[in-house]
């Protein structure tokens, strides 16, 4: 009781966040029952007929479902890899800049895209990457004589564009983790290396990179839990019917089948299976992070 008398203001501060969590994250879990129904909005959950696992069975029978899963895995895998390698390399390069004002200015500039929504960036990319006089195509034609590339209208180029634009948007923010790891390196290691005559490259190779590898392992293994999250906001704002076969992912597929086509039960089944697999992968990734880098949350 003494503890509660001292801390009740903090518990009170948590109530709004707890209420939002319950309303938007826990109560909707009850909607999972739609995955086992031929759900009709006018009949509601209580009146819609039960069809067992038919929606899940249909998911594996439909050819477009398998294509969507493959698209998601491919795009998400490339995002995970390059969103790990790019901040890793950038943090090392930024660490080598001796003028603090310059490094901080660069940090601020590369952080900014993270705070812009994909609604804004989507419109910018559509204009910049347009095959009809877009800035990027003009530069490519002027410098290399390349014919206009349909970045957002060709499936293969669309995947490339999605990965590159996501890395560009997030790598500055993701660099924070590695910069924090760099700040934790004992300066005496560099001093001893300088005394031994090690060059800057040698210090980077034998001190900086090995010191960052445990954090890279943690970030990489934890990212495995997001292997089925390819980025709904980005894809939804960039894709179109011409790239649907190679750009459609699970989230956009669920949105289209539920909101556009009205197949609520089927869409719920797809999203439920995705959530189940993601939960399993998150558990596995945390176990791997603990085994490989001794990282644990609890």
Length of the chain: 298
In order, the DSSP letters of 27-91 are GGGGGGGGGGB---TTTHHHHSPB-TTHHHHHHHH-HHHHHHHHHHHHHHHHHHHHHHHHHHHHH
| pLDDT for position 163 | 93
SS3 content of the chain, % helix, strand, coil (to 5): 80, 0, 20
Whether residue 211 lies inside any domain: the answer is: yes
If you average pLDDT over residues 193-215, what whole number do you get?
Answer: 86
Whether residue 244 lies inside any domain: the answer is: yes
Range scoring the smallest mean pLDDT among 4-8, 199-203, 252-256: 4-8
| pLDDT for position 201 | 86
Q: Of 129, 87, 89, 136, which Cα lies nearest the Cα of 110?
A: 87
Q: By residue range, what is the domain housing residue 96?
A: 66-293
| pLDDT for position 199 | 85
Residue 134 pLDDT exceeds 90: no
| pLDDT for position 87 | 92
Range scoring the smallest mean pLDDT among 14-18, 57-61, 96-100: 96-100
| pLDDT for position 205 | 86
Residue 259 pLDDT exceeds 90: no
Binned at pLDDT 50, 70 and 90, residue 1 comes out as low
Range scoring the smallest mean pLDDT among 72-76, 166-170, 218-222, 235-239: 218-222
Is 248 within 8 Å of 232 (Cβ atoms)?
no
Binned at pLDDT 50, 70 and 90, residue 162 comes out as very high
The model's pTM: 0.86
Residue 20 pLDDT exceeds 90: yes
**Relative orientation angle of helices 63-95 and 54-61, to the nearest 10 degrees:** 80
Q: Of 274, 289, 222, which Cα lies nearest the Cα of 72?
A: 274
Tell me the β-bridge partners of 50. Answer: 37
Is 253 within 8 Å of 121 (Cβ atoms)?
no
Whether residue 273 lies inside any domain: the answer is: yes
Whether residue 53 lies inside any domain: the answer is: no
Whether residue 14 lies inside any domain: the answer is: no
Whether residue 223 lies inside any domain: the answer is: yes
Burial degree of 261 (CB within 10 A; 0-12, 13-18, 19+):
exposed
CA–CA distance, 292 with 221 (Å, rounded to integer): 9
Tell me the β-bridge partners of 37. Answer: 50
The tally of domains found in the chain comes to 1
Q: Of 215, 159, 205, which Cα lies nearest the Cα of 183?
A: 215
Whether residue 194 lies inside any domain: the answer is: yes
CATH number of the domain at 216, please. 1.10.3720.10
Binned at pLDDT 50, 70 and 90, residue 298 comes out as low
In order, the DSSP letters of 177-189 are HHHHHHHTS-HHH
| pLDDT for position 79 | 93
Neighbours of 50 (CB within 10 A): 9
Whether residue 13 lies inside any domain: the answer is: no
| pLDDT for position 166 | 93
């Amino acid at each position: 009781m003494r503890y509660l008398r001292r801390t009740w203001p903090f518990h009170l501060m948590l109530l709004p966040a707890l209420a939002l969590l319950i309303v938007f994250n826990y109560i909707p879990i009850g909607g999972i029952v739609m995955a086992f129904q031929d759900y009709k909005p006018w009949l509601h959950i209580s009146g819609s007929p039960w069809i067992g696992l038919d929606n899940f069975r249909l998911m594996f029978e439909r050819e477009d479902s398998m294509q969507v899963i493959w698209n998601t895995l491919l795009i998400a895998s490339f995002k995970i890899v390059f969103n790990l390698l790019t901040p890793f390399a950038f943090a090392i390069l930024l660490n080598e800049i001796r003028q603090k004002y310059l490094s901080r200015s660069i940090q601020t500039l590369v952080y900014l895209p993270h705070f812009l929504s994909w609604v804004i960036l989507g419109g910018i990319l559509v204009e910049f990457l347009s095959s009809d006089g877009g800035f990027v195509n003009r530069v490519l034609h002027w410098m290399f004589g390349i014919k206009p590339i349909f970045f957002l209208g060709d499936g293969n180029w669309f995947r490339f564009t999605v990965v590159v634009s996501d890395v560009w948007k997030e790598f500055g923010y993701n660099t924070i983790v590695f910069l924090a790891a760099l700040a934790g390196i004992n300066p005496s290691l560099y001093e001893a290396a300088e005394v031994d005559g090690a060059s800057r490259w040698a210090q980077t190779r034998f001190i900086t990179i090995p010191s960052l590898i445990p954090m890279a392992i943690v970030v990489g293994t934890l990212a495995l839990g997001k292997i089925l999250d390819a980025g709904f906001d980005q894809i939804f704002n960039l894709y179109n019917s011409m790239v649907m076969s190679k750009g459609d992912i699970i989230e956009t597929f669920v949105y289209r089948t539920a909101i556009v086509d009205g197949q609520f039960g089927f869409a719920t089944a797809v999203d439920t299976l995705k959530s189940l697999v993601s939960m399993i992968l998150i558990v596995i990734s945390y176990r791997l992070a603990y085994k490989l880098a001794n990282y644990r949350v609890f």
